[in-house]
Amino acid sequence: MLAVALALLASLAFACTATLVQRGVRYLDPFSGLLVDLFCNGALLWLFVFAFHEPAELWAGANLIFVASGLIVPGLFRLVAFKGIERLGASVATAVLNSAPLFAVLLAMLLLAEQPGPANLFGAVAVVSGLVFLSWKGATRSWNLRDLLFPVSGALFAALRDNVVRLGLLAGPAPMVGASITVTTSFLTMSAAYLPVHGLARLRSCGWRAIGSFALIGFVHFLAYLLMFSALDIAEVAVVSPLIHCFSLFTLALSPLILGDSDPITRRKVAATSMVVLGVLLIAWSRWTA
């Protein structure tokens, strides 16, 4: 049950960051904000590592696995996710991206030999179905089928990230060491794409309010990674991944508090929320009876 609690808290933290980003982009462009976010996130993770871990843990060979994870997410994931939203629209792209937990469970069965029980599988399907239903707002098709490759790729990258992290943690490294390496790799990758185009001039011209807004996001991301990696350290991907991706549900509740706006409650939202909650309960039950 500890893994369930950690995963849900990580999902809540990711929902906070998603909502804070909507406010942060009013003051700073997303790419510049991403660099500030990753820098602060990585700095806090390394402070945690140096305070609570032995230096020898940094040189474990399995840490290379987390370098691979950092190349996948958020770099490639955000690239194809943004492209999918551009080509398909937010409603369709988000609905497809929310299928990531199903891919994660299937990959965990193939790559990690996980054997989730019926309650766990039904719970994962219920969570994904509810999230897709929640994000789908109806859309007239004005896009090519091949454009679906962008959000499908994004869902696969997110699923692969969860499995790579779990694989690395099974190999021995401490969760926070892995998280630090993952975020640092992402920061270096994004910097290599950002600096040749924009240099440091854009960041230097930003006000403290803009920098501070994304520094706060980096702090909340630090908490999210602390919780997510700890959950994946003690439980299977089939348990943790569907719960982490529940952040779309938490975002609905946080938007009125952080942004001051909200959508009316509809039958679709009530039905979708009920499906997600049912899925969470089934996964928690499967963990309790394991």
> What is the separation of C-alpha 30 from the centre of its chain, rounded to a whole number of angstroms?
16
* pLDDT at residue 138 is higher than 70: no
Number of structural domains found in the chain: 1
Q: What b/e string do you get for 183-212 counting C-beta neighbours within 10 Å, with b at 16 or more? A: bbbbbebbeeebeeeeeeeebeebeeebbe
The whole-number average pLDDT for the span 117-131 is: 91
Cα-Cα-Cα-Cα torsion 289, 243, 238, 96, nearest 10 degrees, comes to 150
CB < 8 Å & 24+ apart, contacts of 60-64: 60/171, 60/172, 60/173, 60/177, 62/168, 62/171, 62/172, 62/173, 63/168, 63/173, 63/177, 63/178, 63/181
* pLDDT at residue 139 is higher than 60: no
Cα-Cα-Cα-Cα torsion 134, 135, 139, 142, nearest 10 degrees, comes to -150
Lowest-pLDDT range, 101-110, 139-148, 170-179? 139-148
Answer yes or no: are the C-beta atoms of 243 and 1 closer than 8 Å.
no
Measured CA to CA, the distance from residue 252 to residue 262 in angstroms comes to 8
The whole-number average pLDDT for the span 59-81 is: 81
Q: What b/e string do you get for 251-288 counting C-beta neighbours within 10 Å, with b at 16 or more? A: bbebbeeeeeeeeeeeeeeeebbebbebbbebbbebbe
* pLDDT at residue 244 is higher than 60: yes
The whole-number average pLDDT for the span 62-88 is: 80
| pLDDT attached to residue 258 | 62
The whole-number average pLDDT for the span 158-170 is: 89
Helix residue spans in the chain (DSSP H): 2-24, 30-52, 64-70, 77-88, 90-97, 100-111, 118-135, 149-170, 175-198, 201-204, 208-234, 237-244, 247-258, 267-288
- The boundaries of the domain holding residue 238 are 2-288
* pLDDT at residue 44 is higher than 90: yes
* pLDDT at residue 263 is higher than 70: no
| pLDDT attached to residue 64 | 86
| pLDDT attached to residue 56 | 78
| pLDDT attached to residue 90 | 63
| pLDDT attached to residue 132 | 82
